[in-house]
A and B are shown apart, each in its own frame.
Chain A
């Protein structure tokens, strides 16, 4: 084969990734391998491509010539690929133009796949291995997915290799399909009837929101229990990741103990606003609801709930003079920051003519204008504060500022 043709092909391939390599440079590399080292042209082509790929930091170049399979973990969008993997999960397609959706995995990783109805592909079965030739990788909400179309060939494989998923630490999750080992940390109130459960799971490296959609055979997670979750879907929405567990296999490990890292941050500033709904609130007693009731003890879902529970919280704005953060403090933090325990707050509300407003006013006067260092995590637009401390006057900071002010007077 004429090496200049190969060189032109490689050059073009690299150009499509926005990089430019001189064709004669490529040809020289090929010639060296083929002429000097007796490497077969096809192998030389592969070698040069992967070398250039590394040099120019272009991923997935090598794949395009490999006639053999590609490791699933290395698939990148806009590539035609061949994979061999096991269908580890099937889900119900949400469009008639889709025949099947699910997750296919090999030893390197897992990816979502979509079989178009028009592809005329054979029906894939969960738990079986397939070779999928000439499928296309594309990207949906930053997560790669494998599209099976009419040009794709699917061959069932006889193998039944055991497949042990690689576990990814929570802090290292990216959109796509991942396996995690996490503890169920917190249950949140679901905003939709279609959600079976939502909340927070975490491992040593951090925490992440999870959702389980209502589906037959799905059970909610038990708080405090450690789970191995294989092939969950990691979604990105508004820059935040969350785990959807429906695609996954969930295995509880009741013996296990896992220390969950907060992965949080310190947010410092002065409280410049204390929002309505701070102070003493009444919560719906219905299991798993926990919504804040109106003044008339009305829950938007469970209607009147005279047997409510009292709770303390603060919704406020923390401002460092450059930017602001909405913060939410739960009962314990509220108690320690304001110095008002819940039972005392209940007493104030019951004895004051202003009722719960009196608690609001006391909480407001305890935190407004105060400098706080809050440990917490940002969720949506609000920092969920896990602990907060009043900032103390630091003579060292004063000395440093005096130096700075006097420095160039």
Chain B
């Protein structure tokens, strides 16, 4: 959450601005490595820095759930793969995300789903490299049209980030953290849109 934006004077309560859910293609999200915390308090939000130069604390993805896996006996835990035109995004839900977990448990892949979740960067314990996943807040079955709308939305958001690259603080930070040329994602976007055109 951002710092308090305004205080509603009547009740003197602090108003927090909800973190927007960024639209990110799987191909870009999987390249994210840099995670940081803003502020020093326990509840300070953490962000994943996208290679195109924007921090995100929440992500919105619509794609096909192609597979789900249930793990654990005492502590049930779900993993799901969400495929968009550019690749696969990994989604997880455990006991701390009961709503998302129950939703995933009822979904039979393959199905178009809309996922709202918090991105996390993990280092595989066996030295299997670094990967990014979304801890789901909610997973809902949607229709194909919603998926197509999301591809347009994610394409536009990605192009906006590429165009703003170098002009924002986050993108300058990304330039220091990543060696990927953000312009490469322009091709990702073009390919994703081409698939819709079929």
Interface, chain A (partner B; CB < 8 A): 237-238, 270, 272-273, 317, 319-324, 364-365, 368-371, 380-381, 391-394, 397-398, 401-402, 404-406, 408-409
- Beyond A317-B18, A371-B146, A393-B152, list 18 extra A-B contacts (CB 8 Å): A319-B21, A321-B21, A321-B22, A321-B153, A324-B18, A324-B21, A364-B140, A365-B140, A369-B116, A369-B138, A393-B145, A393-B149, A397-B152, A398-B196, A401-B193, A405-B186, A408-B186, A409-B183
**B28: which A residues are within 8 A, CB to CB?**
none
Q: Are A321 and B157 in contact (CB under 8 A)?
A: yes
Q: Residue B75 at the A interface, CB < 8 A?
A: no
A398 and B8 CA atoms in complex are apart in Å by: 42
Q: Please tell me which one of the listed residues A321, A365, A398 contacts residue B197 in the complex, with CB atoms under 8 A apart.
A: A398
Total number of B residues with any Cβ neighbor in A under 8 Å:
43
Using A321-B60, A393-B145, A405-B155 as known contacts, say yes or no to A272 and B21 having CB atoms under 8 A apart.
yes
Q: Are B116 and A272 in contact (CB under 8 A)?
A: yes
Q: Please tell me which one of the listed residues B6, B8, B116, B141 contacts residue A365 in the complex, with CB atoms under 8 A apart.
A: B141
* CB < 8 Å A-B pair total: 101
User: In the assembled complex, how far is the CB of residue A306 from the closest CB belonging to chain B, in whole angstroms?
Assistant: 31
List B118-172 residues whose CB lies under 8 Å from chain A. Answer: 137-138, 140-142, 145-146, 148-150, 152-153, 155-157, 159
Q: Are B142 and A370 in contact (CB under 8 A)?
A: yes
Instruction: Indicate with 1 or 0, residue by residue over B21-61, a CB within 8 angstroms of chain A CB atoms.
Output: 11100000000000000000000000000000000001010
**B145: which A residues are within 8 A, CB to CB?**
392-393
A313 and B131 CA atoms in complex are apart in Å by: 40
**B149: which A residues are within 8 A, CB to CB?**
371, 391, 393
**A405: which B residues are within 8 A, CB to CB?**
155, 159, 186, 189-190, 193
A208 and B77 CA atoms in complex are apart in Å by: 50
Q: What are 26 A-to-B residue pairs whose CB atoms are below 8 Å?
A: A238-B6, A270-B21, A270-B114, A270-B153, A272-B21, A273-B138, A320-B20, A321-B23, A321-B157, A322-B20, A323-B17, A368-B142, A369-B113, A369-B138, A394-B152, A397-B152, A401-B156, A401-B189, A402-B190, A402-B193, A402-B194, A402-B197, A404-B159, A405-B155, A405-B193, A408-B186
Nearest 6 pairs between A and B by C-beta? A369-B114, A368-B140, A405-B190, A405-B189, A324-B18, A272-B116
User: In the assembled complex, how far is the CB of residue B11 from the closest CB belonging to chain A, in whole angstroms?
Assistant: 11
User: In the assembled complex, how far is the CB of residue B93 from the closest CB belonging to chain A, in whole angstroms?
Assistant: 15
| Best-buried of B58, B146, B159 by chain A (most CB within 10 Å) | B146
A401 and B162 CA atoms in complex are apart in Å by: 14
**B58: which A residues are within 8 A, CB to CB?**
272
Using A369-B146, A401-B152 as known contacts, say yes or no to A406 and B190 having CB atoms under 8 A apart.
yes
User: In the assembled complex, how far is the CB of residue A399 from the closest CB belonging to chain B, in whole angstroms?
Assistant: 9
Using A272-B60, A404-B159, A405-B189 as known contacts, say yes or no to A323 and B20 having CB atoms under 8 A apart.
yes
Q: Please tell me which one of the listed residues B6, B116, B153 contacts residue A371 in the complex, with CB atoms under 8 A apart.
A: B153
